[in-house]
Amino acid sequence: MIGAGDRGSTYATYAEHFSEKMRVIGVAEPRQEHREALAGKHKIPQENIFTDWRHAAQRARFADAVIIATQDKIHTAPALAFADLGYNILLEKPMAPTTEECIKIVDAAEKNKIIFAVCHVLRYTNYTQKLKQILTAGRIGEIVSIQRLEPVGYWHQAHSYVRGNWRNEAESAFMLLAKSCHDLDWIRYMVNSPFKTVSSFGNLKHFRKENQPEGAADRCLDCPGEIEQNCPYSAKKIYLGFLKKGITGWPVSILAPNPTKEKILHELRVGPYGRCVYECDNDVVDHQEVNMEFENNCTASFTMTAFTKAGSRRTRIFGTRGEIEGDGRFIKIHDFLKNEDETIDTQQTGGIMKQHGGGDFGLMENFVNALLADDPSLIITGPQESLESHLAVFAAEKARTENRVVEM
């Protein structure tokens, strides 16, 4: 496990429930508390505990696979190193922050003939698989167009993309790549045709210095009461509000493992998550539109916006014989010929790893089963298809920044 933060620890959870199929036998993580927590939970021997992934890569291969869950900017070097050592790889999305690095990673995976998967968790949900079956069966005829909304959520934007790790393009990646690369991948999966052209519009509209209320402080704990209480993005409101509801996992755990009120208040006083959202070094967009045309003449539009209640993505698919509306759980089909509606509930009862609508579990289940069977076909999204959807994201950002239509 390269990276023992939120994503790495989540994927490692699979081994706790299916120890007969998977064991975590090594970890590389620079932060002591995160490293020791994962190592202790999985009883990792001392010689397989590393503060730096490079130390693990200096050893001969000692595991079947490696899961790379580092920050976006440091995916490429470990991916190339472990591919050359013959490890099968599960790589957190996005693959890398540049087209050149993405291509290098895929080339290395194919050259070394390893099983390689990118964490496009949205493909692996029960909802997505049921929807794909409906489309493949021709229930709404041929797909003509798709509308998709990614409601990031006002507090999630403030947490991750204004105050947090993905706020600044130079330190991480541009917003569409960091947050929504698997949305374009999902659309590509539904359309089942290569991208042809893309265009895009978007900007950083709200989270800017000039929008800071008069009299506001640079930190929420120092903000005058009336101003702070009237701010929906108040760090006190967001994090202490979660804690009051008994939520101690993400996003509160990002501030401090095993969070308490005292720990959270300390982090809000000294750490990045206590900053005023109008006084951060953020530069990624807070809303964006992407328009796509595919080789089969389908079109699609994608909206990513901060200014929503955080929730499930919403999709409408328009076909020649019917229409579908979906919200991540319910699929509503309208049949033109019968003029009738049918609603399908795709929620799975019970189960583990319910993040991303069960996509985290589905991803790990498929990846582990592919390793056990030595069968790359069990990976729903292969290296070349992951590369194509990443290249479409880079093209969309090029279209946005250069104000033009980009041909793929």
**pLDDT by residue (tens digit) across 331-358?**
999 999 999 999 999 987 666 666 677 8
Q: Which domain holds residue 164?
A: 122-207+283-407
**Boundary residue ending a domain (114, 145, 166):** 114
pLDDT of residue 311: 86
**pLDDT by residue (tens digit) across 9-28?**
999 999 999 999 999 999 99
CATH number of the domain encompassing residue 173:
3.30.360.10
Token pair for residue 43?
């009883």
Tokens 């929620």 — which residue?
347
pLDDT of residue 352: 67
**In 99-140, where does DSSP find H-type helix?**
99-111, 126-136
User: What's the CA gap between 168 and 284, in Å, rounded?
Assistant: 6
Angle between the N-to-C axes of helices 175-191 and 383-402, in degrees from 0 to 180, rounded to the nearest 10: 120
**Boundary residue ending a domain (114, 137, 157):** 114
Query: Is 294 a member of any domain?
Result: yes
pLDDT of residue 357: 74
What is the distance of C-alpha 30 from the center of its chain?
22
User: What's the CA gap between 34 and 192, in Å, rounded?
Assistant: 40
User: What's the CA gap between 177 and 263, in Å, rounded?
Assistant: 32
**Boundary residue ending a domain (77, 92, 114):** 114
Which stretches of 44-104 are assigned E, i.e. beta strand?
49-50, 65-68, 88-91
Query: Is 338 a member of any domain?
Result: yes
In a shared domain, residues 199 and 307 = yes
Q: Which residues of the chain have pLDDT under 70?
A: 349-355
pLDDT of residue 358: 83
In a shared domain, residues 288 and 185 = yes
In a shared domain, residues 169 and 134 = yes
In a shared domain, residues 268 and 144 = no
% of residues, the chain, pLDDT over 70: 98
Token pair for residue 245?
């509801």
In a shared domain, residues 16 and 154 = no
How many independent structural domains does the chain possess?
A: 3
Query: How does strand 88-91 pair with strand 65-68?
Result: parallel
Burial tier of 79 (Cβ tally within 10 Å: 0-12, 13-18, 19+) = buried
In a shared domain, residues 357 and 222 = no
User: What's the CA gap between 359 and 313, in Å, rounded?
Assistant: 13
